A and B are shown apart, each in its own frame.
Chain A
Amino acid sequence: MDKIIRVNMTDLTTRVETAPSAWAGLGGRALTSTIVAAEVPPTCHALGPSNKLVFAPGLLSGTAAANSGRISAGAKSPLTGGIKESNAGGTAARMLAKLGIKALVLEGQPKDDKWYSVHVTKDAVTVREEKDTAGMGNYDLVAKVQARYGLPVGVISIGPVGEMKMLTANISVADPESHIRSIGRGGLGAVMGSKRVKFISIDETGVPPVMAKDAAKFKEASKVFAQTLLDHPVSGQGLPKYGTDVLVNILHEAGGLPTRNFTSGQFAAHNNISGETMHDTIVARGGMPTHACHPGCQIQCSQVYNDKDGKYLTSGFEYETIWGMGADCCIEDLDDIAMADRIMDDIGCDSIEAAVTFGVAMEAGVLKFGDGKEVVRMLKDEIGKGTPLGRILGGGAAAVGRTFGVTRVPVVKNQGIPAYDPRAVKGIGVTYAMSTMGADHTAGYAVATNILSVGGHVDPLAKEGQVELARNLNIATAAIDSTGMCLFIAFPALDIPACLTSLIDMINARFGINLTGDDVTALGKSVLKTEHAFNVAAGLTREHDRLPEFFSLEKLPPHNVVWDFTPEELDAYWNF
């Protein structure tokens, strides 16, 4: 049975519903956005009782399909003021899917100030008061929860930043080694904190694997699909060996690596923080350069990074985090950045938003560019403890910019711009401006075609073709985000036709349906239009679909380019 679990945090009741037939073909982002758009008043306060926080595994989660273990979370974002979907790996998606749960919805809000947990098994969903876990960091929390149940239960949790409802708060998802993956963007951890839910635990004991309606066809398609992931040089070789941080050097060489709060496109110390250096460091210290963030991941772009003494320091050490604390904040010591990453995972803070925030704070003079030790201290002792300064920093880049009178504040819809300068990688700039999510590189990763020569090539410094590229990628991504698939399947999908056809074959075999490629495109369009309509009703206008003014005024070295799209050119994005 496909179930919708509703947890009412106002009266602490739970109920199980059969998913309506209209939601049968929806999963992941398509389902979270559909539920949020249907049930959340767009003008509500994102941290109030009317908002809902929806978790949904993807359409293929729980099956044997490679890379299908992403879990989506959706709500009205307290950061952007619009709809939000963000997703992560970990074990939760597979477990929820095996339990037949299409979505778990946190609704309402307790009137008291107690903390609660939600425990999900095949037999029941239980809300329990939490007296000894509030205030805990995610690492200790996951260990404590798994010890409580004596099992490697799935854990979806918030750290102190989420408890304090800061807008940089993320939601953590335990991975197969009980380390931390992050539903990072948009302050969804604050929404979970507003529901007073410290964690959700999931016990999959006693449930069989998810079986496809047509098992033979599914098996055949999944083999073809997995082979395309192996065959493509990015997913089969580049990502496993160096992780996402391999992007530091190419963005530096292309002049699109935002540096010193977006004042240059190149970072002199790029080699110190590159994927190649990280790989060599990990190997020398006995870490794991290759690691899966969720069961069944074949690409394995994650890693385990040890400290100088060979002890575990962090994992899932991603390019965007390293770029942000590195180039954007001018921190040259990879160990300082790794420690910052560890702390952000533990306190439950989005590493992209935090890095952009520190770049703005450094420009404001709150701390010095390059001072990695002070970043680590501020994360731990200011943001992590909720001091007045910590609360300002924890409010994100836009809040810090307003507080300190900084005009160079790289955000769209208040959400920090990630690791690719839109002046020198114009396709991703269109995505930043137009995405329903605020500045989000994953919403339509035009970097692939602008910089990485995947899916053809569109000149990153020219405007021609960028709006169409970003539109098509945003549509495709909205569909992929609904399958439970890792977005990195897009690399083979852009170059190897069998990747996409086998993906559709797997969905058809899983559900006994007959989707075509056009149906998948239609799903992506429908998701974007649903999200856009919510945003418009929430008060986000065309004028919010723009980049900050400084990108048009300040030339970015070394190419000395500015952001030069007209409003009309950008608005054409919605012509579909």
Chain B
Amino acid sequence: MKVRLRLYATLRDHLPPGTDTQGAVLDLPASTTIPEALAALDVPLSLAHIILINGRHVLKPDAPTRRLNEGDELAVFPAIGGG
């Protein structure tokens, strides 16, 4: 299955060179979990402070086991703030 992964702030460095603003397209086995998808770009789950799938937050306790579906859009941020 294909999912799209967007990494922001300090995590940007993990994206393959030339990745556009739509993010990296990952071709993964069905039912891949979030940490498995992040591992494809060498991003440890511990650095993923905020995770959204299709614009909805994934709660921290759910992140290690949450499985992805075909076409999911995954956006991942380190700890950030402002206001």
Query: Could you tell me if B83 and A453 are in contact, using CB atoms closer than 8 angstroms?
Result: no
The chain A residue with its CB closest to the CB of B50 is A453
Given A241-B10, A275-B9, A276-B9, A488-B57 contact (CB < 8 Å): no
Q: In chain A between 198 and 220, which residues have their CB closer than 8 angstroms to a CB of chain B?
A: none
Query: Could you tell me if B6 and A488 are in contact, using CB atoms closer than 8 angstroms?
Result: no
Given A254-B52, A254-B57, A491-B81 contact (CB < 8 Å): yes
| A454→B49 CA distance, assembly (Å) | 10
* A246 interfacial by beta-carbon distance below 8 Å: yes
| A166→B60 CA distance, assembly (Å) | 47
* A48 interfacial by beta-carbon distance below 8 Å: no
The chain B residue with its CB closest to the CB of A236 is B79
A224 to chain B, nearest CB (A): 21
Number of interface residues of A (CB under 8 A): 45
Given A246-B9, A254-B55, A445-B83 contact (CB < 8 Å): yes
| A529→B21 CA distance, assembly (Å) | 47
| A457→B49 CA distance, assembly (Å) | 12
B6 proximity list for chain A (CB < 8 A): 253
* A115 interfacial by beta-carbon distance below 8 Å: no
One of A247, A249, A453 near B57 (C-beta < 8 A):
A453
One of A247, A270, A271, A559 near B83 (C-beta < 8 A):
A247
Query: Could you tell me if A238 and B83 are in contact, using CB atoms closer than 8 angstroms?
Result: no
A234 to chain B, nearest CB (A): 4
One of A246, A445, A459 near B80 (C-beta < 8 A):
A246
| A266→B56 CA distance, assembly (Å) | 14
* A233 interfacial by beta-carbon distance below 8 Å: yes
* A422 interfacial by beta-carbon distance below 8 Å: no
B56 to chain A, nearest CB (A): 8
The chain B residue with its CB closest to the CB of A428 is B83
Q: In chain B between 56 and 83, which residues have their CB closer than 8 angstroms to a CB of chain A?
A: 56-57, 59-60, 75, 77-83
- A-B pairs with lowest CB-CB distance, top 6: A244-B82, A233-B79, A234-B81, A253-B75, A238-B80, A271-B21
On A, residues with C-beta under 8 Å from B are 232-235, 237-239, 241-247, 249-250, 253-255, 270-271, 274-276, 301, 318-319, 441-442, 445, 447-448, 451-454, 457, 459-461, 487-488, 491, 558-559
On B, residues with C-beta under 8 Å from A are 6, 8-10, 12, 21, 49-50, 52, 55-57, 59-60, 75, 77-83
Can you report 12 A-B residue pairs in the complex whose CB atoms are below 8 A from each other?
A234-B79, A238-B81, A239-B80, A242-B80, A244-B81, A244-B83, A247-B80, A247-B82, A275-B82, A301-B82, A441-B83, A453-B60
